[in-house]
A and B are shown apart, each in its own frame.
Chain A
Amino acid sequence: MITAPLLQLNNTSALEDYNIKKEHPTDCIIALAGNPNVGKSTVFNALTGMHQHTGNWPGKTVTNARGICSHHGKKYILVDIPGTYSLLSHSKEEEAARDFLCYGNIDAVIAVCDATCLERNLNLVLQILEITPKVVVCINLMDEAKKKKIDIDQEKLSTLLGVPVVTTSAKRKAGLTKLMDTVEQLLSSPPTRAYCVTYPQPIESAISSLATYFQEENKTTARRTAKQLLEQNEFPKEFSQIENLENTWNHEKELLNEQYQTKEAFQDVIVSSLVKQAEKIGKAVLHFGNEAYETRDRKIDRLLTGKLTGIPLMLLLFAGIFWLTITGANYPSQMLSQLFTFLEKLFYAGCVHIGLPTWVCEMLCSGIFRVVGWIVSVMLPPMAIFFPLFTLLEDLGYLPRIAFNMDKAFQSCKACGKQALTMCMGFGCNAAGVVGCRIIDSPRERLIAVLTNSFVPCNGRFPTLIALITIFFAGSSPYSSLWQALYLTLAVALGVLMTFLVSRFLSKTILRGHPSSFALELPPYRKPNIGKILIRSVFDRTLYVLGRALAVAAPAGLVLWLCANVQIGSQTILTYISQFLNPFAGWVGLDGVILTAFLLGLPANEIVVPIMLMAYLSKGSLEEASSLLQMKAVFLENGWTQITAICTMVFCLFHWPCSTTLLTIKKETKSSKWMIVSALLPALVGLILCFLIHSVSRLFY
């Protein structure tokens, strides 16, 4: 008798990610598999009530998520796996997804398909059917198919495939109860006549002769194992215990080698059998009513990716978003800071009232409370506006177009155009951007994307940039907000430019190599669900930022206050540190306080400005810095010029990533070496740029 683990080919260490334990023996594990961008996460969210991120571009989900769906009193553990075009494995992630379907202890698979592109999706469905017959085909995006007048004969498809087929429109939550009903039925009576992919005669006979060795297993598993064995170049030693198997394998392999000269030719036959059978099934069930359905999308594309219009529109779009963010954040920011100043006084009075010693009152109010207040009032409003806007672009389907527009530039840096997508993720959070780099297949290009991700400003740094621009470059003309938006666009453009230069540098030095293949799907434009975007991004972001503010800023505020107030000898600790750094900071147009702030800001970039303010306040005459105007006074009092502001902004763009990002990089690259490189690269770039700016400016003043 052959035990199950013995049947596992390859190393399945990639499976760790997928290690799922049932809490109860009657729980069922259901995998959601399918091509990228077909709505797996949307189905998952609708069934589990969770909030996995969805987005209108392929590769949004890169880590698997699990959630619980109760249906008729039974518990189903759903697993949302990253989208994949096939199970024939290219990248580590696809291999992990396949191994999970093969060897994970799943009870059933929901194969999610895109109704508007069914034929290609069927290709994957057939591959899943080769692994297990316990499949429910879920044809999603039916609403779009209807609009495009694509008719699908659901019953015929179910008969042909031999497994149940359900149609859904997950975004509208239509068809999902039916889906779970069907899953329930499937589990109680597994399909007996699931479609069996057939191959040309020589392969078929080889498969059946090998399959005889696994008769204890069910038919599908035996066939699957036989086929996987045939795809190996060498006989796997895990199987050597099975008597005669190796001989048969050698014999069959020889026959196949005679028939198909190369491994490539063999692979071709396998793939084209699959594709052709999917095509045949597709032809039998699909009916297209309206061929010219996508003229609208093409018109938009001609503008957004046009030769003359593509890049300018992209810049304009970003500048527009920045402008909305800056102008929109201005007023709430003022309101919040007034509110916090007021609350601080109240809080202080309260502390005094309950009889706390003065220094404790000071510490709580000027330390913890103030830093939290600064973060909420300065950082929160820009984020609460920027993210819904950016998510809007994402849901519309614009992000892949950015990658499409920019790919040529990445190509000339010998990098991958999908890096543009990971950079877009980086706007939100560099750590998320780094994980997102998994969508890049080639390890070399992926590493480049990982190492350069922090060159785009994340949400912790955006507000710092905005605040500095507002303070030092606002001007008083009625168009000042337009200028601010322009400056911010320039700052981001500088980040992008440096990404290119550094990517190129890496490709020429430590990560030498050629650009690898690139295939990027451009999804149709989709109407975003504005209400949902608002709720999700404001809530996700607001709660996230507030949480982070409390978790990092409150203790940081305490430590800072202590540093700024505890005297050793005649000076505070903060003064010691900043004086120590002063000479060095002077070379690059900064001062000791700024550099200290960036160093201490390692846990979260959000606290950099508060650290600076706290340090300046402790040694200056000014008492308050709640509004931007007061902040300006504080900065000016401490010798800031516009050059200092520029250098600080440049250094804010290019220094070390925050500690979360660094740890993520270490985890993703599995190496501390690359983590260190990823910290040194931007820091060096920042220091060099600041040094240049400072030196050049000295020539003029």
Chain B
Amino acid sequence: MNLEFPLSQLPVGQSATVCQLQTSGSMRRRLQDLGIIHGTKIECVLKSPAGDPVAYRIRGALIALRKSDSKTILMNP
């Protein structure tokens, strides 16, 4: 069964769990520092006026990520 989808497609108000990070290098580390690893629950909270970036609730903090970055985070429903 393959239900994986990128974080960028998560609608506002819904949450999902991380299953894979597809970035590498410094962004991967940044995301990991914020606590985004396999199994982390992320909720989509707020869209900016232009629809990008989007703010997510990650381990209690509200973090804005650009679509180009959130696209690389694969989620499981």
Contacts and interface: CB of A to CB of B under 8 A. Distances in A.
Contacts of A407: 48, 50, 52-53, 64, 66
A345 interface: no
Interface residues on B, range: 35 or more
A404 B46 CA distance: 10
B10 interface: no
Given A408-B53, A517-B26, A519-B34, A298 B45 contact: yes
A404 B38 contact: no
A519 B67 CA distance: 11
B69 A307 contact: no
Interface residues of A, number: 47
Contacts of B61: 117, 120, 521
Interface stretch (A84-92, A253-261, A619-627): A84-92
A116 B61 CA distance: 8
B48 A518 contact: no
Given A119-B35, A271-B37, A404 B68 contact: no
B34 A520 contact: no
Interface string B22-61: 0110111111111101101000011111111101001111
A524 B46 CA distance: 13
A86 B34 CA distance: 9
A520 B63 contact: yes
Interface string A274-297: 011011000000000000000000
B46 A302 contact: yes
A88 B28 CA distance: 12
Nearest to B68: A515
Given A117-B59, A522-B64, A516 B32 contact: no
Interface in A556-607: none
Contacts of B37: 268, 271-272, 275-276
Contacts of A524: 62
B49 A306 contact: yes
Contact of A120 (B29, B31, B38, B59): B59
Dominant SS among interface residues on chain B: mixed
A123 interface: yes
B65 interface: yes
Given A120-B35, A441-B26, A517-B26, A404 B64 contact: yes
B57 to A, nearest CB: 9
Nearest to B55: A522
A85 B50 CA distance: 27
A441 B69 CA distance: 15
28 contacts: A85-B30, A90-B30, A117-B59, A119-B60, A275-B35, A298-B46, A305-B49, A306-B49, A307-B47, A307-B49, A308-B49, A404-B53, A404-B64, A408-B48, A408-B53, A516-B27, A517-B23, A517-B26, A517-B66, A517-B69, A518-B65, A518-B69, A519-B30, A520-B63, A522-B55, A522-B62, A522-B63, A523-B62
Interface of B: 23-24, 26-35, 37-38, 40, 45-53, 55, 58-66, 68-69
Ranked nearest first, the 5 interchain pairs of A and B with the lowest CB-CB distance are A517-B27, A408-B50, A310-B49, A86-B33, A85-B33
